[in-house]
Amino acid sequence: MRSLITLVLVLMALKPVYATVIRKEFSERMTFPFEGGGYKIRGVPRNVIYLTIDDGPSPQGTPAMLDILEDHQVSATFFVHGNQAERRPHLLERMYREGHLVANHSYSHVLDFPSSSSFVNSLMVTHNIITPYIAPEGVLLYRAPGGVWNDWRSRNGNNHSTLRRYVGPLFWNVGGGSPNRQDDADWKCWRRGNGVTVNACADSYYQQILSNYKKGQASLVLLHDIRDLSAKLVDRLVRRLKRDGIDWEFRLADDMPIVREYANK
Ligand SMILES: [Zn+2]
């Protein structure tokens, strides 16, 4: 019993050391932490909204999303998959031409990479596909599928001559998909039969953004362009935002001071 207590005490003493090691790993360039482990984006006013749109480009969702963004004169950051992008270069071309930002979301949506080379290849193949649609001096951004990230990925990214120029993974603070909520992520309003409508999801996104605003935080919003329902959600959300008297401002993800800081390292 005494040895067990000793072991627990030793582990408790080691915990801060372990945490420091992880933090050091994550302080490499290829990472994007929120400030202080919370959800605040340093140096960004609370009226700023970053729309980030993942998993496309798809014929079902992307043209509709681009149309809605164009209607409202709003810019967004698209985290695309290589396997979708290589089949639809015209949609990447349209994103680029219409002032959106094209970014890397790996080749497909696998959450687990069995080897260093599979991780590097997934990102590099995508990198080569999207490069023509990124401004020559543009910031390279990465978002991990499912937000899954660890020190192994950070190390492999930073050890690669091209990937180490990336800033990522970019997390989010709106549209997260809490297990306790039915309407807090756009994919929840795609499901049939659960009673969640696009309007309910749009209203939930609005409340999440407003809650960030009240806490003094800018919003980094997660959406997807694989169903046209998400475009409808954005339409309703932007209309709602325009009505509330707050001076909302939409920006591209490469505008964040922390992203620029990492990109220039
Ligand atoms: Zn994704």
170-to-78, 236, 255 alpha-carbon distances in Å: 12, 25, 13
User: Residue 105 Cα, ligand 1 centroid: separation in angstroms?
Assistant: 7
pLDDT tens figures, 92-126: 999 999 999 999 999 998 899 999 999 999 999 99
Token pair 């660890």: residue: 150
Q: What is the largest CA-CA distance in the chain?
A: 69
The better pLDDT of the pair 206, 147 is held by 206
21-to-26, 56, 63, 164 alpha-carbon distances in Å: 9, 35, 44, 19
Identify the three-state secondary structure at position 117: helix
The pLDDT score that the predictor gives to residue 207 is 96
Q: What is the mean pLDDT of residues 187-215?
A: 90
R_g of the chain computed on alpha carbons: 19
pLDDT tens figures, 69-93: 999 999 999 999 999 999 999 999 9
The better pLDDT of the pair 22, 217 is held by 217
Per the CB < 8 A criterion, the answer to whether 157 and 163 are in contact is yes
User: Residue 55 Cα, ligand 1 centroid: separation in angstroms?
Assistant: 5
Name the average pLDDT for the chain.
86
Q: Quick one: which H or E segment has residue 206?
A: helix 198-214
Question: Amino acid letter at 37?
Answer: G
Paired with 100 in beta bridges are none
The rounded distance, in Å, linking the Cα atoms of 203 and 182 is 12
Q: What are the structure tokens assigned to 49, written together?
A: 């909204």
| Domain that includes residue 9, residue range | 2-263
The pLDDT score that the predictor gives to residue 8 is 46
User: Residue 111 Cα, ligand 1 centroid: separation in angstroms?
Assistant: 9
User: Residue 54 Cα, ligand 1 centroid: separation in angstroms?
Assistant: 5
Which protein residues have their CB within 5 A of the ion that is ligand 1? 54-55, 145
User: Residue 6 Cα, ligand 1 centroid: separation in angstroms?
Assistant: 44
The pLDDT score that the predictor gives to residue 82 is 98
pLDDT tens figures, 222-238: 999 999 999 999 999 99
What CATH number has the domain bearing residue 138?
3.20.20.370
Q: Quick one: which H or E segment has residue 258?
A: helix 257-263
Domain count, the chain: 1
User: Residue 146 Cα, ligand 1 centroid: separation in angstroms?
Assistant: 6
